[in-house]
Structures are given as C-alpha cells and as structure tokens.
C-alpha cells in the first residue's frame, strides 16, 4: 500500500537548519528557527520552571491520565492569564492540547464540525502551519492583506477592505500579538475597527496568541484579545505556553471556545473533549502541570514574570541596536521599523533572491520570505547582520 504515497514538500525551516549546520563559516548567523535564544545561543529552562519541576518531582505520586480536556486547573489558570475576566467564566469551554499547534488544529476541526462550508480568512502572510493544516483539512482559505512591503507595517486599509467580504459563518484568524512572521501589529484603534467589521459581517474571530509577554508585556499583549472577546458573541482562542514559559518540547497549549451563553458552553466543552478523544485521547500533562503550579504560586509567578521581562527587554534591546546600526551604516532611517515591530520576528520585506544572497555571501540564514528571528541575534552578531544587509543592497 505504501507505494501509493506521494512525497511531501520539504519543510523549509528544517532544510535551512541543515544548511546552517553544514556551513563551516565562523561568522554564520541562524535567524531561521523560531525559538528564543539568550546571549550565549542557549534556549534556557526558566528559573520558575526548574523550581516547579523540583517541587513536582518531590510531591507527585501518580502519572495517571488526566481528563480528556486536561486538568481543569490548567484551563482555569490559562484563561485567567489570557482573558483576566474579560468574559464570564461559565461561557468558556477549554481543552488542553499538545502545544499551540494542537490548539490550532483542534480549532480548525471544531470549525469544520460546526460549519462545513466555513471559509477561514488568514492574514497575508501568516504562520505557514495555519495554511498547511487548513489545506490538509480541505477548508477554504481566503487571504486578507496585512503586510505592506514598502512601509514594513500593516496595510490596514487593505485589511479592512478584505475583511468586509467575510460573511456570517466565516472565521477570521487573527494574531493576538507579535504577528508571525512579520512582527507588525495592529494598534488599539485599528483593533477597534476590526471588531466593528466582525460585528457588521457576523464572522467569528479566531485568535492565535503564541507570544504573550514577548511584545509589550503580559497584560498589554493580551489587551486586544480581551477587547475582542468582550465585544463579540463567539470566539476561538488558541494559546501556547512554548515561548513565554520556555517549555517548547513539553507541548503545552490550550484551546478556548467562548460562547454567547452557558448552555452553549456546555455543548462546546463536550465537543472539545470529543475532538481530543479522536485525535490523541488525553493531552500531555507535564508542561500543563508546571504552568499551573507557576501561575498559582505567588513566588513562582513573580520569578517567572521577572524572567519573562528580562527576555522581552533583551529582544527589544536587540531591535534597537539593529535599527541603530543600520541607520549608522545606511545614513537613513528606512530600517526604523525593526525597532517598532514586536515579538521574536521581523520581516525585512525583501526578495528571496536577496535572502539567498545574504546566506551565500555572508552566512546569514533566514526564511526565504525574509522573516528573521530577532532572538537569534546577540550583541556581537548584530553588526555582522547589519553590514550584510547593507552590503547586499537591501
């Protein structure tokens, strides 16, 4: 039977990683992989996570299954972190998932069950896994304009014009903060306008929030999501703990389905548990347990938030340093957008040919669409990247 299988497209980031490993140059710089790295190039285990793991090792007496939707305490802790009372708790169904990707996948399957003819509007560009999963499930995808290659900001007029073509039963996929892959975010007034369009069209928002705390702060990064859920009757939220807790390999995520009333919440909760059963039965618990412990312990939470702030400020410092170095070398402020973007990523807005030239001539590795992981830099590599950008003529 296996002879009928067709080769699947190679993962571009994995291929980039392999090329980076094989590059002998001492000055090579990896800006492709989407993980946070400290100044030494390490993706560290956060202090609070280490402490929570030690406590868990000392106190945990069983590894028995959790419920199909995971430990309810994890759902409660994450709902509080993301929404902070923006809507009534008894309207929110929640299920733990294997990472934020698992939450996204379950959300798309829920959409397909509820509305087989739903179209999902996605920003152009968006995280490639969004498109890959939607394509695999056979869900119609409609791109809406988002990134302006000239300004390296949001094409807001185009975005609004495209979202106005949505209709009731469609879903609009939004990035809660730190847009991946561009780093360009909507401002509060623009979020208000998006909400107005959602209310006019009747489309349902789905928010992917994977970088809370990496942009302007925990509360600030969740502000748009809270504003949306408070304004619309229904919403889906896929949340990830990979980045802000640094537990990438523990695969810890949560899907929330917000309904208009308590009776609909009960049906949504049953459906989320059903979907988990069909896909992986019980979700992983180790990472979820650590997150729950950290968020519910005042000392652990304070330590986690302090370290998260260190991470956030480190990335902001790299952005400022890179924008300043490029201004010095170019004699212009055309790279000022790098300091304005937020999160791990920025998109240079250049061509694949220029990206290849950066790799071939200077050992700078980034995704072909010019997305670069700012957290892959350090104080020593920022000047190397800046010089390479100017040298190739971007």
Catalytic residue among 96, 243, 259, 357: 243
Residue 204 in domain: yes
Do 86 and 230 reside in the same domain of the chain? yes
d(CA 113, CA 82): 26
**3 state DSSP class of 196:** helix
Other beta carbons less than 10 A from residue 28's beta carbon = 17
Q: For residue 339, give the CATH number of its domain.
A: 3.90.1150.10
Q: Are 257 and 228 in contact (CB under 8 A)?
A: no
Do 238 and 314 reside in the same domain of the chain? no
Whole-number pLDDT of residue 164? 98
246 backbone φψ class: left, alpha, beta (φ>0; ψ -120 to 50):
left
- Residue 79: both structure tokens together: 């709902």
Whole-number pLDDT of residue 263? 87
d(CA 263, CA 241): 29
Residue 4 in domain: no
Do 326 and 244 reside in the same domain of the chain? no
DSSP 11: P
Residue 112 pLDDT > 90: yes
Q: How many helices (H) and strands (E) does the chain have?
A: 14, 13
Number of domains forming the structure of the chain: 2
DSSP 33: S
**3 state DSSP class of 254:** strand
Residue 265 in domain: yes
- Residues 114-128 have pLDDT tens digits of 999 999 999 999 999
- CA 72 → CA 9, 96, 258, 374, distances in Å? 38, 9, 16, 35
Residue 17 pLDDT > 90: no
Q: Are 210 and 35 in contact (CB under 8 A)?
A: no
Residue 56 in domain: no
Q: At what angle do helices 218-231 and 72-83 cross, to 10 degrees?
A: 90
In the chain, the N- to C-terminal Cα span, in Å, equals 49
Residue 355 in domain: yes
d(CA 390, CA 62): 57
- Residue 364: both structure tokens together: 């700078």
Do 229 and 342 reside in the same domain of the chain? no
208 included as an active-site residue: yes
Bridge partners of 7?
A: none
Whole-number pLDDT of residue 41? 87
CA dihedral 69, 75, 78, 79 (to 10 degrees): 110
Whole-number pLDDT of residue 11? 80
Whole-number pLDDT of residue 243? 97
Catalytic residue among 48, 94, 166, 210: 210
Query: What band does 349 get if pLDDT is binned at 50, 70 and 90?
Result: very high
Whole-number pLDDT of residue 290? 98
Do 388 and 275 reside in the same domain of the chain? no
Q: Which residue has the tokens 């969004």?
A: 130
- Residues 138-164 have pLDDT tens digits of 999 999 999 999 999 999 999 999 999
* Nearest CA-CA partner of 179 in 386, 384, 374: 374
Q: In the Cβ-directed half-sphere of 37, how many Cα atoms lie within 13 Å?
A: 19
Do 105 and 218 reside in the same domain of the chain? yes
Residue 149 structural domain: 65-296
Residue 130 in domain: yes
Do 283 and 307 reside in the same domain of the chain? no
Residue 137 pLDDT > 90: yes
Whole-number pLDDT of residue 155? 98
Q: For the chain, how many residues are written?
A: 394
d(CA 62, CA 9): 42
Residue 6 in domain: no
- Residues 186-212 have pLDDT tens digits of 999 999 999 999 999 999 999 999 999
Do 123 and 243 reside in the same domain of the chain? yes
Whole-number pLDDT of residue 34? 86
Catalytic residue among 37, 93, 94, 127: 127
Residue 300 pLDDT > 90: yes
Residue 13 pLDDT > 90: no
Do 124 and 226 reside in the same domain of the chain? yes
Do 115 and 233 reside in the same domain of the chain? yes
Average pLDDT along the chain: 96
Other beta carbons less than 10 A from residue 187's beta carbon = 12
Whole-number pLDDT of residue 8? 86
Q: In the Cβ-directed half-sphere of 282, how many Cα atoms lie within 13 Å?
A: 12
Do 36 and 135 reside in the same domain of the chain? no
Q: For residue 240, give the CATH number of its domain.
A: 3.40.640.10
Query: What band does 262 get if pLDDT is binned at 50, 70 and 90?
Result: confident
Whole-number pLDDT of residue 14? 83
Q: What are phi and psi of 154, to 5 degrees?
A: -85, 135
Whole-number pLDDT of residue 346? 97
243 included as an active-site residue: yes
Catalytic residue among 208, 221, 285, 303: 208
Q: Which residue has the tokens 């919403």?
A: 235
Last residue of some domain: 270, 296, 322? Answer: 296
Q: Are 344 and 210 in contact (CB under 8 A)?
A: no
Last residue of some domain: 257, 280, 296? Answer: 296
Last residue of some domain: 296, 322, 350? Answer: 296
Do 281 and 350 reside in the same domain of the chain? no
Residue 51 in domain: no
């Amino acid at each position: 039977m296996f002879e009928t299988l067709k080769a699947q497209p190679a993962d571009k980031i994995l291929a980039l990683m392999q090329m980076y490993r094989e590059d002998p140059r001492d000055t090579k710089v990896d800006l492709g992989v989407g993980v946070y790295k400290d100044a030494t190039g390490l993706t560290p285990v956060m202090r609070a996570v280490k402490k929570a793991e030690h406590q868990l090792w000392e106190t945990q007496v069983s590894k028995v299954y959790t419920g199909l939707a995971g430990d309810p305490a994890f759902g409660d802790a994450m709902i509080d972190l993301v929404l902070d009372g923006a809507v009534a708790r008894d309207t929110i169904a929640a299920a733990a998932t294997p990472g934020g990707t698992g939450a996204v996948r379950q959300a798309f399957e829920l959409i397909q069950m509820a509305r087989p003819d739903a179209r999902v509007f996605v920003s152009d560009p968006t995280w490639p896994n969004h498109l890959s999963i939607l394509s695999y499930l056979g869900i119609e995808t409609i791109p809406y304009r988002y990134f302006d290659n000239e300004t390296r900001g949001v094409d807001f007029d185009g975005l609004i014009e495209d979202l106005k073509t949505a209709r009731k039963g469609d879903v609009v996929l939004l990035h809660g903060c730190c847009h991946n892959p561009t780093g360009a975010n909507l401002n509060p007034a623009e979020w208000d306008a998006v909400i107005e369009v959602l209310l006019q069209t009747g489309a349902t928002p789905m928010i992917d929030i994977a970088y809370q705390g990496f942009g302007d702060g925990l509360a600030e990064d969740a502000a748009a999501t809270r504003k949306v859920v408070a304004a619309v009757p229904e919403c889906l939220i896929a949340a990830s703990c990979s980045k802000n807790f640094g537990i990438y390999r523990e695969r810890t995520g949560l899907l929330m389905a917000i309904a208009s009333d308590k009776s609909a919440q009960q049906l949504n909760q049953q459906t989320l548990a059903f979907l988990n059963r069909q896909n992986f039965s019980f979700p992983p618990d180790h990472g979820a347990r650590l997150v729950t412990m950290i968020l519910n312990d005042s000392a652990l939470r304070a330590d986690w938030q302090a370290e998260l702030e260190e991470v956030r400020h480190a990335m902001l410092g790299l952005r400022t340093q890179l924008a300043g170095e490029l201004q010095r070398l170019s004699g212009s402020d055309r790279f000022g957008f790098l300091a304005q973007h937020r999160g791990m990523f920025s998109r240079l807005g250049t061509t694949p040919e220029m990206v290849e030239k950066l790799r071939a001539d200077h050992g700078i590795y980034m995704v072909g669409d010019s997305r670069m992981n700012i957290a892959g830099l350090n104080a020593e590599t920022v000047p190397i990247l800046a010089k390479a950008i100017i040298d190739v003529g971007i």
